[in-house]
Structure 1
Amino acid sequence: MAATGFAAQSILRRVVPSFLSFRPTTHVVGDVFSGTNLILRTPLHPSVFGICSLPQAIKGDADILLKGVGDKNTIEDVKRIVELAKRASLRQEVLHTDFLTPPVLKESMLVLERLADLKTVALGGYPEAERCRLSVGHPEALTNDPDNVAALSISGNFSFQPCSHGDFLGAILGTGIARNKLGDILLQGEKGAHVLVVPELSDFLVSALDKVGNVSVSCKKIPLLALEYEPPRTKSSKSIEASLRLDAVASAGFKVSRTKMASLISNGDVRVNWSTVTKSNTTIKTGDMISVSGEGRLKIGEISSTRKGKFAVELIRYL
């Protein structure tokens, strides 16, 4: 999965002595999009190695850091996470984001690892989690993996009425919970599903969720170690394309006509790296994840040029 290389990892860079007295606390932030303006009296100078301190970022260098963001669709989200990191470092506490999509998580980790007096940990509940929460704090405050992900088991008789990932997601969101409060949903076949969620909403879901589709369900908390999951099954193929347009590559990967794929794109049924794309001529690159409603997911592998000026594209289809 896209977040495999980042989940269950911590990034620790050299520590610049803090100006503040050390009062470690832990604070859970339900909304990472709120911010406060902080002013530091004594600025630090940039490191010759390109590693900034958080005080530097507070004084305006955050914009410089964001110039290195490769996925421009994530800039606003990454900027808010940098603001969260600034507050965590200056207040000597640990703060948590909600669940992040893989592109936002990846770009945030790449930016935050350049900040000296900060430690970050990404956790999604299990090693191959796709959606993860990011915890940030001063290294002296963030000494252990945070307990910021809870697991629930949703069970019912799905033998005669199988439910999809979308059915479980729709039922959970129908209780009023926002999407960014939910992590991955792990289908368990006829038994139901295991769901990752922010801990503060686990009790609410246990009491509020009573039906998925037309199936009555019960919901209970389970330890993270009780999660049941399997690595995704994939099938790889190669296609020779005249261009790297989204409609051309996706139609080859999902084995549908280009006309149908163009219609799906214009209707808003296609996402690239978890963002809806409505232009068929969007350029695709290695590492992109293409999701099509009703068709599944496709990851773009290695892309190479042929002697005739075309493109040999590796297509990794999730089964």
Structure 2
Amino acid sequence: MAAASIPSPWLLRRAFQALAFSQPLHFNKNLSFYGNLRSFPFHNPLRSLGLCHIAQVIKGDNDVLLKGVGDKNAIEEVKHILDMARCAATRREVYHTDFLTPPVLKESLTVLGKLADVKVVAQGGYPQAERYRISVGHSEVLTSDPDVVAAINISGNFSFQPCSHGDFLGAILGKGIAREKLGDIILQGEKGAQILIVPELVDFIMSTLDKVANVSVSCTQIPLLSLEYEPPRTQSFKTVEASLRVDALASAGFKISRSKLVNLISNGDVRVNWTTVTKNGTILKTGDVVSVSGKGRLKIGEINTTRKGKFSVELIRYL
């Protein structure tokens, strides 16, 4: 009977992991999108907790960390990345995410910055990248930037048939590749485009992608330093509106009728911060990015209230 009451080695390991994760978390204010992020040592000795509280400890810590996530649409992805980081630190291994959208990236970096003894590196391939991959691991293991982003040059004669971002994206996704495996697409005008992708799919793309729209193409892997990019061109202007609803600001920003914008929302063609919106009355705030299929992107700038109670809004249109 006495032997039967001794916890198994597996259970003891889980107990230790739970106790380790139960320590106070310290936020690193030096987090950045480009540099190597700092590590955090434990500051207090382990507390004594019973094995029956293991699950509650892990779930409780997650609940506390995720409570600060501002974008509720990103919670599930951030939760998965948080679990990945803890697993990587415990096993002293390095794990990588797929390419993340800006809202998920931002929220994930904030949450991961509160974990002890975890190092985080975010890479998008070039300084102005929109989509990034995150690498997480124990600070003693993740000692350099992992090679998790590759670049491919897609060339062809696009002089007579220019292709859009959507054309290149559609051609790549048409090969069965998930969107999360693909980073930014940098258009090169008549020359074609350069794409960022996970390294393990480079050979597949180079051997299978032979056409974009009706243009025959060839693919070559290139170093990240060979990427050709320019700062995005924008046009800024102001509008005065009675509300901050997405249908009001987007119709003004894209210069289309409000009724047409409502139809686009109904068709699922409007996204706010890369998440499809379904309600015309969604309220926007400074920093939000509105995307409309076939129209491009719009960023909400400074918002001020007029004397008559309306809103003077700066709209930044990406050209």
The offset of 1:10, in angstroms, is 3.0
Matches of 2:296 and 2:97, distance apart in 1: 27
| TM-score (norm: length of structure 2) | 0.85
In structure 2, do the counterparts of structure 1 residues 44 and 117 end up closer, same or farther at CA, with 3 Å as the change threshold?
farther
Note if 1:255 corresponds to 2:255: yes
Matches of 2:117 and 2:313, distance apart in 1: 41
- Residue pair 1:7, 1:129 contacting (<8 A) in 2 also: no
Partner of 2:143: 143
The offset of 1:15, in angstroms, is 1.6
The offset of 1:59, in angstroms, is 5.3
Secondary structure at the aligned position of 1:85 is classed as helix
Structure ranking higher on relative contact order (CA contacts 8 Å, 6+ apart) = 1
1:110-156 CA-to-partner distances (Å, cap 9, x unmatched) read 11111121111110000010000001111111111111000000001
In structure 2, do the counterparts of structure 1 residues 156 and 57 end up closer, same or farther at CA, with 3 Å as the change threshold?
farther
Note if 1:15 corresponds to 2:41: yes
Matches of 2:61 and 2:257, distance apart in 1: 47
Matches of 1:221 and 1:18, distance apart in 2: 48
Query: Which ranges of structure 2 fall in alignment gaps of 5 or more residues?
Result: 1-30, 50-54
In structure 2, do the counterparts of structure 1 residues 84 and 56 end up closer, same or farther at CA, with 3 Å as the change threshold?
farther
Partner of 2:126: 126
The offset of 1:7, in angstroms, is 3.5
Matches of 1:87 and 1:43, distance apart in 2: 20
- Calculate the aligned-residue CA RMSD, in Å: 2.0
- Residue pair 1:273, 1:289 contacting (<8 A) in 2 also: yes
Query: Which ranges of structure 1 fall in alignment gaps of 5 or more residues?
Result: 20-41, 46-54
Partner of 1:93: 93
Alignment of 1:38-57 (within 5 A): none
Q: Could you say which structure has the larger radius of gyration? A: 2
Secondary structure at the aligned position of 1:98 is classed as coil
Displaced runs of 4 or more, over 4 A: 42-45
Note if 1:173 corresponds to 2:199: no
Note if 1:160 corresponds to 2:186: no
Matches of 1:165 and 1:313, distance apart in 2: 28
- Residue pair 1:290, 1:298 contacting (<8 A) in 2 also: yes
Partner of 1:27: none
Q: In percent, how many aligned pairs have the same letter?
A: 69
Partner of 1:310: 310
The AA in structure 2 aligned to 1:60 is G
